[in-house]
Amino acid sequence: MVEHSLDSAPSPIESYDLARAVANATKTGLARRLSTGRSEWPVWLVAGATLANGLLSVIYVMATRHADRPQMLGAPLPFGIYRWSRSLTLVFGFVLIYLSWQLLQRRRAAWWLAAAGALAAALAHLGHGHLWLTAGAPLALLGLLLIYRRRFTVHSEPRSIAQGIGLMIASLTLALAYGALGFWLLDKRDFGIEFNVADSLLRTARELTLIGNADLTAHTRHARWFLDSLHLIGLTALVFGFYSLFRPVAYRLRTLPHQRQHVRHLLEQYGGSPEDYFKLWPDKSYYFSQNQQCAVAYRTVWSVALGLGDPVGPEAELPEFLRSWIQFTHDNGWNIAFHQALPDYLSIYRDAGLDCLKIGEEAVVDLQVFANETFATSKHMRKLRNRFLREGFSTTQHEPPHSAALLEEAQSVSDEWLTLPGHQERGFSLGDFNRAYLNETPLVAARDHDGRMIAFVNVIPSFRPGETTFDLMRHRLEAPNGTMDFLFIELMLGLQDRYQRFNMGMAPFAGVGEEPDAPLHERAAHELSEQMGRWVSYKGVRAYKSKFDPIWEDRFMVYQGGTVGLVRAAMALTRALEG
């Protein structure tokens, strides 16, 4: 929520660095369990049966000899098709092995292909000996697929499917043209045959469909290479097509103005955190309950639907809404995560099968306590403030809309701040310097004895009654040491007549894994913060904020899928915060 740059404190770390740290802490772990939608036993049963069928088909082709003539039900088939069935059985076997993984992810396209593949595999066994043994397994698989068809609801990306089919057709057409031209250009010495155009097309089609050309014998190295290259091109076309069929639904930001306005209305009724302000930013999409009383503000990165803060809405409706959100994301092939969730709804998350990891603590200053006790009894704060005032420094508060000259001053300060090592614009749970955005928020500036702006913060609403917070906080390179302390002191003293609390943002890893009974992931995060302390002072961030005597509130990352899910969520968060 808050962009830190406290010049008098050790260099603090933002949520961006926390995300990277969590990812590094857990990247080598094993998944404790798969996500709720992927761990249902019927899904495992169908996927396992599909894998077994695929392996059976491959082993059967390798372990048995093909009869010279069709037998039993294969007798009516044309002899060429009969010869083709052996290759088809092998192909369908490998396809079923591949589809077993996609079925485990409950993909609808995989269900259709597995059903078609099972039926085709059964038909491909026509004419083989031991018909019931070889054809019975794919028929049993087909029965399982039909019985549990409602379990497979995850969509694939429609545009990618169309592109994949188009790419497959184009690639096969190219392969056909390549093969026909290649056969036609070959010397007679390569195969001992002089190919015409029609014969070249027919032989290429037979090679690509695995029927083969029994009368072709490569006599030269070039001929053998040509056949291998033709098979490789055909295989590449199929691989691209299959890959495109199973891509998750792509995230496309489509938010209408009235949707954002409705979310604002919900936040005014049910909001409860400073992160709520950024739920209204244009990088968020929204998912609503059927009665429009609950909403999630999210962004999808790398197939992770990353929610900012908690869902908003009446608490009694949140459990059912969360289940519908989980179903929606599963149907799109996305994982779920919530960044900086409050402790209020942890039981609801856990009841829904999600995991919760404490990622830090947020500092909330009681403004009356600060003015009457903390500041009044702190010799250091009073001395620092008096020194700045005595040297001609001051603070000025500016209500929006701002003049062009003021925004130009702030732009100059921001540009200098961005030149400092490790400083860059962020996104998702942070704002970036944008004149249109800054022109809508109050701005408090610190000025030197010449009236020149040397630092500023902008104040934003919290949506928690009686609370406010800030977003951008930037200073010039030559700002005296203690400038931000002076600015904060003046800011909080000036806010006490209008607000009860001032949120100073999260201290990453604060209070994480320090209890003896803390979960394993929290203890791992704590150990990581200790190891990284030589480069980044996490304790320094908390120590700096502690001198303002805040109340510390826990913040959590909510995710699904065990350790692997946590790594995915942390990496997605890192990408989202990069803007």
Q: Strand pairing partners for 107?
A: 154
Identity of the amino acid at 115: A
Taking alpha carbons only, the member of 86, 8, 84, 99 closest to residue 53 is 99
SS3 state of residue 44: helix
Instruction: Judge whether residue 288 has pLDDT over 90.
Output: yes
Of 102-111, 126-135, 437-446, the range with the highest mean pLDDT is 437-446
Least confident of 4-18, 165-179, 418-432: 4-18
Q: What is the mean pLDDT of residues 224-250?
A: 70
Could you give all domains of the chain from N- to C-terminal order, each with its CATH number?
Answer: 36-151 (1.20.1270), 158-245 (1.10.287.70), 361-532+544-552 (3.40.630.30)
- Which among 348, 251, 309, 339 has a CA at the least distance from the CA of 559? 339
pLDDT of residue 342: 94
Q: Which of 140-154, 220-234, 250-264, 559-573 has the lowest mean pLDDT?
A: 250-264
Assigned token pair, 188: 């007679």
Round to the nearest angstrom and report the end-to-end CA distance of the chain. Answer: 14
Q: Which of 53-67, 154-168, 169-183, 198-212 has the lowest mean pLDDT?
A: 154-168
Per-residue pLDDT band for 570 (boundaries 50, 70, 90) equals: confident
Stated as kind and residue range, the H or E segment containing 507 is strand 501-508
What percentage of the chain carries pLDDT values higher than 90?
Answer: 37
> Residue 296 forms beta bridges with which residues?
287
- For residue 31, name the pLDDT band (cuts at 50, 70, 90): very low
Most confident stretch, 37-51, 75-89, 195-209: 195-209
Does residue 216 carry a pLDDT above 50? yes
Residue of higher predicted confidence among 179 and 352? 352
Lowest-pLDDT choice from 194-203, 285-294, 320-329: 194-203
Q: Averaged over 503-529, what is the pLDDT?
A: 64
pLDDT of residue 324: 94
- Specify the pLDDT at position 12: 37
Res 224: pLDDT: 84
With cut-offs at 50, 70 and 90, classify the pLDDT of residue 32: very low
Please name every residue paired with 468 in a beta bridge, in sequence order, or none if there are none: 461, 502
From 478, 449, 450, 455, select the one nearest 391 (Cα to Cα): 449
Contact 474, 432 (CB under 8 A): no
Higher-confidence residue of 531 and 298: namely 298
Distances (CA, A) of 507 to 17, 265, 360, 462, 503: 11, 30, 6, 18, 12
Q: Which residues pair with 259 in a beta bridge?
A: none
The continuous run of DSSP H or E covering 506 comes out as strand 501-508
Local confidence band at 546 (pLDDT 50, 70, 90 cut-offs): confident
- pLDDT for position 16: 46
Whether the Cβ atoms of residue 286 and residue 275 lie closer than 8 Å to each other: no
**Between 522 and 42, residue with greater pLDDT:** 42
Q: Distance (Å, rounded) from C-alpha 60 to C-alpha 136?
A: 13
Confidence of residue 313 (pLDDT cuts 50, 70, 90): very high
At residue 577, the pLDDT reads 86
| Tokens of residue 373, six digits | 């006790």
Q: CA-CA distance, 39 to 218, in Å (whole number)?
A: 51
* Highest-pLDDT range among 38-42, 198-202, 403-407: 403-407
Residue 2 · residue 12 · CB < 8 Å:
no
What are the distances in angstroms from CA 307 to CA 1, 78, 89, 187, 274? 13, 59, 46, 64, 14
Q: Which two tokens stand for residue 160?
A: 């990618």
Q: Identify the pLDDT of residue 364.
A: 95
Residue-wise pLDDT for 452-505, tens only, equals: 999 999 999 999 999 999 999 999 999 999 999 999 999 999 999 999 999 998
What does the block give as tokens for 533? 């302390």
The predicted pLDDT at position 155 comes to 65
Residue length of the chain: 579
pLDDT at 243: 64
Cα separation, 479 vs 464, in Å, equals 33
Which is more confident, 305 or 39?
305
pLDDT for 281 beyond 60? yes
Residue 579: predicted pLDDT: 64
Radius of gyration of the chain, Cα coordinates, nearest whole angstrom = 32
pLDDT at 245: 60
What is the DSSP track for 189-243?
Answer: HHHS----HHHHHHHHHHHHTT---TT----SHHHHHHHHHHHHHHHHHHHHHHH
Long-range contacts of 533-537 (CB under 8 A, 24+ apart): 536/11, 536/13, 536/17, 537/10, 537/11, 537/12
pTM of the model: 0.67
Q: Quick one: average pLDDT of 70-86?
A: 48
Better-predicted residue by pLDDT, 35 or 573: 573
Query: Given this model, what pLDDT does residue 454 score?
Result: 97
pLDDT at 325 over 90: yes
What is the H or E stretch that residue 325 is in? helix 318-331
Average pLDDT of the segment spanning 273-302: 92
pLDDT of residue 163: 61
Mean pLDDT of the chain: 80
Phi/psi for 505 (5° steps) reads: 90, 175
How far is residue 455's CA from residue 475's CA, in Å, rounded to a whole number? 4
- Higher-pLDDT residue of 151 and 32 is 151
Instruction: Characterize 392-401 residue by residue with b for buried, 16 or more Cβ atoms within 10 angstroms of its Cβ, and e for exposed.
Output: ebebeebeee
Is the pLDDT confidence value at 23 over 80? Answer: no
Name the nearest CA neighbour of 58 among 11, 116, 98, 111. 98
